[in-house]
């Protein structure tokens, strides 16, 4: 019997996600053999620089995709927010798993909510998307780059002079830290990253056996929502280190997609929503992107890239 090799990053969260996928596959096809293959990515190896300073295309996925193409693994498990909108030739997204709640949360040292943090409070996050929206809501907040796995970031909150962290709800819950959450940050304040909360499984386009199995793991509403968000991102030509947030919600035969583009300090922002048929999530994403560009999103993104180039240099 064929053994299915699952490629994954080696972080605790990534291994949890890959193990979860392995468990679901065993449920779908009892008796199959599944093994996890840990692979270090560029993003895992560079921990002394902000992600935004080392590029964002495939930071946490490129090595996994190379292993797929070289037949070292049979599928690769990703956090969908890390997966670039364009996949390498020969690879496809075989499954988008049922999405966890996609929002961000506040973890504060003294139990304060975002609105109640002291003036000038120091918040740890490595996401330009989060920084822009936090500063839009609370311009007085100071932000510092905090990288590393979830355990490391929580330890830094306890050990360093930080007032709070902003993290993804999904990771906190998956690793058993629900009790550390101080506040579920409202979507009105902070839209999530494209694909946040969903696990994706990538496979070779010509591996019919794997694709047939993954098709049973795929969750239709989650795929439609994530497809709408990724279509918007692709049309905006944004990456995961550009201040773009989006959230698609499927309601029967309709999808409602809301998105924002902001400059680095949140001073300028275009935020819009649009609905469309659930059967055409890609078209909805493109149409909303066009509407946002018409309202000035393109100028904001151009400004962000120019400012960012200067900061990196």
Residue 6 lies in a domain: yes
The kind and range of the H/E element at 122 are strand 122-124
Helix 220-236 × helix 281-294 angle, to 10°: 30
The tens digit of pLDDT for each residue in 93-108 reads: 999 999 999 999 999 9
307 has a pLDDT exceeding 80 = no
Asked about 251 being catalytic, the answer comes back as: no
Sole residue written with tokens 């090595």 = 63
- 234 and 313 within one domain: yes
- 223 and 209 within one domain: no
The tens digit of pLDDT for each residue in 80-139 reads: 999 999 999 999 999 999 999 999 999 999 999 999 999 999 999 989 999 999 999 999
- 207 and 92 within one domain: yes
Relative to beta strand 164-168, strand 104-108 is antiparallel
Residue 34 lies in a domain: yes
Average pLDDT over residues 60-76: 95
- 111 and 84 within one domain: no
**What domain range is 209 assigned to?**
1-97+199-218
At 167, list the tokens.
């993290």
311 has a pLDDT exceeding 70 = no
Cα(49)–Cα(295) distance, integer angstroms? 34
Q: Are 250 and 127 in contact (CB under 8 A)?
A: no
Q: For residue 92, what are the CA distances in angstroms to 27, 89, 295?
A: 23, 8, 33
- 89 and 108 within one domain: no
Sole residue written with tokens 């988008």 = 96
Cα(122)–Cα(162) distance, integer angstroms? 5
- 56 and 9 within one domain: yes
- 12 and 68 within one domain: yes
- 109 and 93 within one domain: no
* Cβ atoms within 10 Å of 229's Cβ, excluding its own: 34
Total structural domains within the chain: 3
pLDDT for the residue numbered 49: 46
183-188's contacts with Cβ under 8 Å and 24+ in sequence apart are: 183/105, 183/106, 183/108, 183/113, 183/114, 184/101, 184/103, 184/105, 185/103, 185/104, 185/105, 185/106, 185/114, 187/103, 187/247, 187/258
41 has a pLDDT exceeding 90 = no
- 89 and 110 within one domain: no
pLDDT for the residue numbered 312: 47
Catalytic residue among 19, 44, 56, 82: 82
* Residue 241 phi, psi (nearest 5): -105, 20
> What is the CATH number for 122?
3.40.190.10
Residue 190 lies in a domain: no
- 157 and 125 within one domain: yes
Predicted confidence band at 239 (pLDDT cuts at 50, 70, 90)?
low
Predicted confidence band at 241 (pLDDT cuts at 50, 70, 90)?
low
Mean pLDDT of the chain: 92
Which of 184, 210, 233 is the last residue before a domain boundary? 184
């Amino acid at each position: 019997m064929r053994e299915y090799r699952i490629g994954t990053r080696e972080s605790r969260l990534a291994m949890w996600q890959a193990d979860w996928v392995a468990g679901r596959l065993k449920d779908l096809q009892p008796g199959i053999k599944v093994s996890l293959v840990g692979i270090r990515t560029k993003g895992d190896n560079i921990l002394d620089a902000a992600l935004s300073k080392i590029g964002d295309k495939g930071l946490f996925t490129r090595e996994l995709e190379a292993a797929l193409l070289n037949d070292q693994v049979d599928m690769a498990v990703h956090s969908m927010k890390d997966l670039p909108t364009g996949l390498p030739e020969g690879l496809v997204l075989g499954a988008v798993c049922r999405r966890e709640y996609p929002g961000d949360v506040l973890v504060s040292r003294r139990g304060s909510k975002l609105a109640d943090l002291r003036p000038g409070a120091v918040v740890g996050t490595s996401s330009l998307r989060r920084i822009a929206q936090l500063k839009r809501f609370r311009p007085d907040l100071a932000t510092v780059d905090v990288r590393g796995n979830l355990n490391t970031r929580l330890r830094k909150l306890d050990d360093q002079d930080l007032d709070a962290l902003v993290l993804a709800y999904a990771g906190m819950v998956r690793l058993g830290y629900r009790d550390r959450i101080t506040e579920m940050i409202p979507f009105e304040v902070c839209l999530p990253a494209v694909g946040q909360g969903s696990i994706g499984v990538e496979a070779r386009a010509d591996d019919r056996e794997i694709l047939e199995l993954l098709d049973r793991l795929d969750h239709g509403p989650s795929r439609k929502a994530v497809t709408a968000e990724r279509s918007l991102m692709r049309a905006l030509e944004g990456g995961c280190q550009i201040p773009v947030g989006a959230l698609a919600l499927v309601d029967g035969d309709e999808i409602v997609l809301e998105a924002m583009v902001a400059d680095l300090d949140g001073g300028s922002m275009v935020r819009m929503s649009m609905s469309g048929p659930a059967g055409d999530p890609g078209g909805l994403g493109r149409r909303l992107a066009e509407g946002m560009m018409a309202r000035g999103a393109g100028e904001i993104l151009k400004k962000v890239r120019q400012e960012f180039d200067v900061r990196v240099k």
